[in-house]
Structure formats: C-alpha cells, structure tokens
Amino acid sequence: MADTGLSRRSLWATAGAAALLSACSMIPAYERPASPVAADWPALSGVTPAANVPTASSIPASEIEWQSFFRDPKLKQLIAAALKNNRDLRVTVLNIEQARAQFQIRRADQFPTVNAALTGLRQPNTNGNGSITSAYSAGLALTAYELDFFGRVASLKETALAQYLATEEGRKTAQISLIATVANTYLSLLADADLLNITQQTLSTREASFKLSRLRFDNGVTSELDLRQAESLTEAARVALAQLLRQRSLDENALTLLVGQPITADLALPANAGLGSMPLMLDVPAGLPSDLLSRRPDIRQAEQQLLAANANIGAARAAFFPRISLTASAGSASSRLSGLFESGSYGWTLAPQLLLPIFDAGRNSAGLASANAGRDIAVAQYEKSIQSAFREVADALAGRATLGEQLRAQQAQANAEAVRFKLADLRYQNGVSSYLDQLDAQRALFAAQQALVQTRLAQLQSQVTLYKTLGGGWKDSAETATVSANGTQPKS
C-alpha cells in the first residue's frame, strides 16, 4: 500500500460521489396497454338482483371483507381455519418472503460492500539470491463495486421489486380462490345433505310401495310386471343413495384438504344443515370492466410482471455500455508482521476498472432481443388476464340474471309434481289409473326434487363466484397477510 495523508473519509467521499452519478436509467417509459375488452358487460348484467338478497349498496366487492359477505357462522369458521392452515396458501406466503429477499439482494448491489481484510504474502525474490519478500496488510476493503452510470444494477433492482410486488398480488389471488373454493365446497356439502334426505325419504316410500306390490302380487291382484317395476324403482333409489354417500365423502375429503386440518366437532356441519337453512349472502354491484384493473389482484400481478419485463430491457440495454467497477482498500501495510500497526504504516489503494464491450459474438444483442420478447409475452399475458377476468365476471352475471328465475320455476315444478304424485297414488289405490301412472309420477317427483336442490346450489355458488371474480375476498379485518405483519413493503 502507498503511504499517504488521505483519510478514510476522503476514500468514502469519492465512492459516494461516484454512486450519486449513477442516475442514468435505460428502462423504457412504461405505458399501460389498452384494455382489450368491451366498455360494459353483456346485456344480462342489467337484470335487477332478487328482492330477498341483501345488497351491499355501491360498495365494490374488493372492499367487502369476507366476514361481512358470508353470513353463515360455520362457513366463517371453516374459512378462518383454511386461511390459517391451508398449505397452498402457506407456500404462496413463503414465496413472498423469498421474493422480498431477492429484492433486498438486488437493492444491496447498489451500495458498496465493505469487508475487513487481513492479508499476508511471502515469496522468493526473482533476482535469484534466495531472499524472501514479505508483505502484510490489514484494513477495510471494497471489492469490485460497480459504478452504475448506465442504470444496469438499478434496472435489475426494479425488476426484483416488481417481481416481489407480483408475488404479493399472487398471495391475494390465492386467498380469494381459497375462500371461494371453501365456500363452494361447503355449499356442496349442504346440498349433499338435502339430496340425501330426499333420497332416503324416497327410498322409504318406494320400499313401502314394493312391499305392498309384493303382497298384491302374492294374492294375485297384480301382475309380475307391476312387481318388477316397483322393485326397479326401489333399487334405483338405493343406487342414488350409494352415489350420494360417496359424493358426500369426496366433498368432506376436499373440505378437509382445503381447511388443512381434520374437520373436528367445532367445524363439523350441524345435523340439520341444508341449503334451506343457509343464510343469504350479500349481492355486490358489478361496476364497469375498467374497474377490474384496480380490483382484481391477478390483473395487478400480471401488470407487475409486465413492469419487471420492462425493467429487464433497461438492464439489457445497459449491457452495451462500459461497465465501471471500483476496488479500493485503506488500512495498514508493512513488510513485517510485527510492524503492521506501527505509526506511519497507514496507506490506501484505489483501482478502478472499465470494461467496454467490443466483441461478444452477439451475446448482448441476443440478451436485448430476449428482453424485448419477454416484454411482449408479458403484454400478451396481461391482456389475457383482463380478457379472462371479463369472461369470468360476465359468466357470473349471466348466472345471477337467470338462476333466480330458474329456481322459482324449479320450485313450482317440484310443487306440481308433489301434487301430481298424490293424485296419481290416490287414483291407483282406487283403481282409476294404472300402476304405471303412479310410478311415472313418483320418478318425476324425485327428479324434480333433485333438480331443485341442484338449482339452489348453483344459485348460491354463482353468488360466491361473482364475489370472487369481482376481486372480493382478499381484504381481511384481522389483517392475516404475513407480509404486512412483518413490515412495510420496500420502496425503490
């Protein structure tokens, strides 16, 4: 080391001044792509919600906490347990932590790394006299710090920041999806309970009818054809019962996986549970398609990925320009280890390096072409996310517009089939009509009752789907987001 009177403060002032010069950015100016969807929803969106559904006024779905949207206490318990224990959501939160750490690494690249260094060197002289040259040094060292004149490091930091923010939006999307899936699975279990109740009642009725048919056949009143028709209907009801028991088990297994823990007594469905006892959910306004850009986390996630791809172009452009790095040290140096810290041994070194690309076989050009293609891909993915969101909301609005009327008509049909069966059974008992008429009425009543439950399930699930597609479900009054609990988001 050369002995001089410059102080450490002068050395760091030089490095700081160089860092301040690194304000140039080659990131292209970002312009949000135009929304590739219509300015309004399809015509069915104008249908007024059913009068018995409580509305949320003009509050958008994204501002309605899931605790306010869902009214069923058991469902709230299940959702809370899923947000706490679901492993997919846990992985998503951990991905945020990983992305945050990657951003912090890139941000640290903008600052010098200072290390304490102690070195020693002993080697023979080249004059051939057998003497040994010794050199020892101790102090602070700054190694290969890049002076970011052309914004390469800053562009990489912006890329990491956008990717980190994208993972946070991804966490919100995962939470919305989880809440909607738990709700729909819970509704399916309630529908299973209703269908099982209907099927068990139908089986009991058909078993009694079959016993009566056998008695009438044994006494020669009816033919074997009537007996076998009654037997066929009874076995069909048993088939339906077995299918429903299997479906209920599958739905329970799915809910257990979603919740992330066994469905214990406090989370188990009540014995009298059914869709008829399901408290109503809020109805939410659709707003305009342009509102999705700010309400849907998956669209915001796609835009952050687009910003990351845009920042990558800045780094690829900066690769064409000189890369300047600085290696420096300051401390004590001596030819004797014992004299390392003696007075007058202070010294410093400063070794800047400039690398100017001359020939790289097209590597930098290919890197820029790849970055441009990556941005074009991100634009297409962003536009696709908007189109998919538009389609999902339009589908949900179509369900809201039509399922209410379908449910009303299905209820009227089930009532009519119940009366028809009573009349057909009465006419058969009095010998006015054939047993075939009674069996046909019985089959029609069972089918109408099943269709009624399935339509009611579809209507309730469509409300959940509309809430999900409009971006509702990620806000939580308890602020369960782990990232927010760990501190504020980093700033660029």
Q: Determine, yes or no, domain membership for 1.
A: no
Residue 161 in domain: yes
Look up tokens 């009537």; give the residue. Answer: 226
Is 269 domain-assigned?
yes
List the domain range (segments joined by +) for residue 434: 38-110+148-321+366-486
pLDDT 10s per residue in the chain (492 long)? 444 444 445 444 444 544 444 457 889 999 999 989 888 888 764 455 444 455 555 688 888 899 989 999 999 999 999 999 999 999 999 999 999 999 999 999 889 888 988 888 878 877 667 678 788 888 888 888 888 888 999 999 999 999 999 999 999 999 999 999 999 999 999 999 999 999 999 999 889 888 988 888 888 877 888 888 888 889 999 999 999 999 999 999 999 999 999 888 788 887 778 888 778 788 888 888 888 888 899 999 999 999 999 999 999 999 999 988 989 888 888 777 777 777 767 888 888 888 889 998 999 999 999 999 999 999 999 999 999 999 999 999 999 889 989 999 999 999 999 999 999 888 888 878 877 888 889 899 999 999 999 999 999 999 999 999 999 888 765 444 443 334 344 443
Q: Is residue 165 part of a domain?
A: yes
Q: What CATH number has the domain bearing residue 434? A: 1.20.1600.10
Q: Compute the distance between CA of residue 249 and CA of residue 124 in angstroms, rounded to an integer.
A: 82
User: Considering the domain boundaries, does residue 400 fall inside one?
Assistant: yes
Decide: pTM greater than 0.75. Answer: yes
Q: How many domains, in total, are found in the chain? A: 1
Q: Is residue 387 part of a domain?
A: yes
Does residue 138 lie within any of the structural domains? no
In a domain, residue 234? The reply is yes
Q: How many C-beta neighbours within 10 Å does residue 445 have?
A: 23
